[in-house]
Amino acid sequence: AKETGKARCVVYNHEKFTQPEHDVSMEAAMFQAVRDGEFLLHYQPIVDARSRQIMGFEALMRWSRPGQGLVSPAQFIPMAESNGLINLLGAWALKAACVQIRRFEEVARRPLYVSVNVSPRQFRNDQFLDIMDEAMQLSGLSGEQLLLEITEGILMSDPEHAEALLTAMTSRNVRIAIDDFGTGYSSLAYLKRFPIATLKIDRAFIKDLPSSVKDVAICNVVLSLASHLNLNTVAEGVENQEQLDFLAAHGCGLIQGYHTGRPLVPDEIIALLKAEQAS
Ligand code: C2E
Ligand code: CA
Ligand code: CA
Ligand code: CA
């Protein structure tokens, strides 16, 4: 779906989410919203920690409710996960993000990657591989330009299924990132068993850098672990220069946060990439 007149951009820019209403009516509205095409994607830049060049984007879903503004994914993703709509929404998001990133590349004139969130229910869905293949065919995106973000719990809940799926992804050069790394209850065993490419360090560990001694220790250990295992690292929720300086100095490769770029609508990303071209 193609979005956005200028007036809407202003609203999205500030990312003011509306307060949740009663859940039952929200759920009913959601089914209708899928039909009416009220969902859209924002794209948040992921930049190189040292050069600050944009390397890729995370696609983040939004629900634009007529007359009510934007609803946060924290609000509707859990609901979509429990009622199954996430399969439909997730498939749309994957395809839309792959197609969109090709347009960004045309403007940037260099390869970019896209990071797409995959929920547990999507990961378990038999059709997931077909949907992924379709997204890549439709867009012409190559495997190494697609990063799928999953949470650590998904892998060990059904390791045989995960193994088969990840093997199929690896054969297409599609990479896997562990989202919210360190916040789940899982062990590190999955890092040994599965071909993981990237760890995304959760904002919870970034927020109080560099003043919190504990967060400094945790980040250092995660960055060292990643380096020894040859994994890429993305720090999430970087909001200021002190955090960025600490992370760059301690070997974190990539940065994602309000400090280096908020989630934006495609037109705004295109403007950003054009400005980069002109400079
Ligand atoms: P996430 O995957 O951990 O995504 C990162 C969240 O942090 C996003 O929230 C992003 O807007 C926010 N963020 C980025 N930089 C900063 C920062 O500097 N400070 C702060 N305070 N926050 C920052 P968002 O967009 O509200 O998404 C919330 C969650 O909803 C995501 O967390 C993800 O779990 C889920 N989600 C979003 N889009 C999708 C999707 O397409 N599919 C699925 N399954 N889940 C999605
Ligand atoms: Ca994510
Ligand atoms: Ca995350
Ligand atoms: Ca997070």
Cα–Cα distance, 45 to 154 (Å, whole number): 26
Q: Judge whether residue 18 has pLDDT over 80.
A: no
ipTM beyond cut 0.95: yes
Q: Give the pLDDT confidence of 77-133 residue by residue, as tens digits.
A: 999 999 999 999 999 999 999 999 999 999 999 999 999 999 999 999 999 999 999
- How confident is the model at residue 10, as a pLDDT? 35
8 Cα to the center of ligand 1, angstroms? 20
Q: Give the pLDDT confidence of 179-216 residue by residue, as tens digits.
A: 999 898 778 999 999 999 999 999 999 999 999 999 99
Alpha-carbon torsion (264, 265, 266, 268), positive or negative: negative
In total, the chain counts a number of residues equal to: 279
92 Cα to the center of ligand 3, angstroms? 20
Q: Judge whether residue 4 has pLDDT over 80.
A: no
Q: Which residues line ligand 1 (CB under 6 A)?
A: 44, 59-61, 72-74, 77, 90, 93, 117, 119, 179-180, 203, 236-239, 257-258, 263
- How confident is the model at residue 20, as a pLDDT? 63
Q: Which residues partner with 48 through β-bridges?
A: 254
User: Where does the pLDDT of residue 27 fall: very low under 50, low under 70, confident under 90, or very high at 90 and above?
Assistant: confident
Nearest protein Cα to ligand 1, atom 32: 74
Cα–Cα distance, 72 to 22 (Å, whole number): 15
Compute the average pLDDT of residues 139-164.
94
Element (H, E) at 150: strand 146-151
Cα–Cα distance, 163 to 232 (Å, whole number): 20
- How confident is the model at residue 28, as a pLDDT? 86
Let me know: does 15 contact 268? Beta carbons within 8 Å.
no
The pTM of the full predicted model, rounded to 2 decimals, is 0.93
Q: Judge whether residue 24 has pLDDT over 90.
A: no
216 Cα to the center of ligand 1, angstroms? 23
Cα–Cα distance, 60 to 252 (Å, whole number): 22
